[in-house]
Structure 1
Amino acid sequence: MTDPSKVIGFLDLAGAWDPSLAFVMGGAILVGLGAFALAKRRALSFLGGAMHLPTSRDIDTRLIAGSLMFGAGWGLAGFCPGPAIVSLGSGNTKAAVFVLAMLAGMAVFEQAELAKVRTRPREY
C-alpha cells in the first residue's frame, strides 16, 4: 500500500485492474475483526485504562462526507494515512505533501469543532 501505482491500479476498475490490494485489505479486516472481538471481552485496555469502543451505528452527513473525502484523497494521491507515513521513511516527496495536507485538514477540522463548542450556548 506504500506504492501509489498499486493503489491507483486497484481503483482502476475499467482499465488494468490490479486486485492485489484486495488481499491486503482482506488481511487487515481479519486482523481488525479479531482485535475487536478481543477488545469487547475486556473491561480494561492492555495499558490498564478504560475501554472506549465505538457504539454509534448512525450513518450521517459527517460520516458520508468524511468517507467521500478519504476516498477522493486516496484515489487522487494513491496514499492512505498509514502507508503515507511509512513512505516518509523512504524520502518520498509525494508522501510528504500528502501527510502535510492531511495534517492541515486535521487542524482545520479541529478548529471548526472548537469554534462550534465556543459558540454553543451554555447549559446550566
Structure 2
Amino acid sequence: MSLARLAVALLAGALFGFGLSLSGMADPARVLGFLNLAGPHWDPSLAFVLGGALIVALPGLALQRRMARPVLDRDFHLPDTKAVDGRLVAGSALFGLGWGLAGFCPGPAVSLVATGLPSVLLFVAAMAAGMILHDRILAQRPS
C-alpha cells in the first residue's frame, strides 16, 4: 500500500470514527432508543445522522459513476451482482437483529474496542467469528 493510500485511509477512518462518536451512533442506548419506534422514549435524532450520511453519499456515488477509476486505486471494488437473493436477505436480517439486540453495528463497535468494555469486545468477537465463518464456509458454497 502506498503512503498516499495509507494516509487517506487513516484520515478517512479517523473522520468516520469521529463522526460516529459525535453523532451518538457509538452509544448503544441511543441507537436502541432510535430503533424502538413503539417505545415511550423514542429518540428520532439518529434519523438526522442517517439523512446527513445520504447527503454526503449521494453526490459521491454520482461522482464515482462518472469516473473511469478511483484516484488511488486501479479499479472500483463494487459487488458483481445486484440480485436480491436469500443469502442477501438473511445477511441483512442477521445484521438488523444484531444491531437491534446489542445497539452496535460494525463501524461503531470497532471504534469502541479501545474502551475495553466487555459488551463491545463480545460483540466484536462474535462479529469476527461470523465473518470468518462466512469466508471459510458459506462463501465457498454455490448460491
TM range (shorter): 0.7 to 0.9
- Tell me, in whole angstroms, the C-alpha distance in 1 between the residues paired with 2:139 and 2:86: 19
Q: Give the match for residue 106 of structure 1.
A: 131
- Tell me, in whole angstroms, the C-alpha distance in 2 between the residues paired with 1:33 and 1:58: 21
- Per-residue CA deviations over 1:33-52 (Å, capped at 9, x if unaligned) read 12211111111112131123
Larger Rg: 1
- Aligned CA RMSD, in angstroms, stands at 1.7
- Tell me, in whole angstroms, the C-alpha distance in 1 between the residues paired with 2:56 and 2:141: 36
Write the letter of the residue equivalent to 2:34: F
Write the letter of the residue equivalent to 1:21: L
Paired residue total: 117
Identical counterparts, % of pairs? 50
TM-score (norm 2): 0.74
Runs of 5+ consecutive residues of structure 2 not aligned to the other structure:
1-24
Q: Give the match for residue 52 of structure 2.
A: 27
Are residues 1:89 and 2:114 paired? yes
TM-score (norm 1): 0.85
Write the letter of the residue equivalent to 1:10: F
- Tell me, in whole angstroms, the C-alpha distance in 2 between the residues paired with 1:112 and 1:54: 19
Q: Give the match for residue 121 of structure 1.
A: none
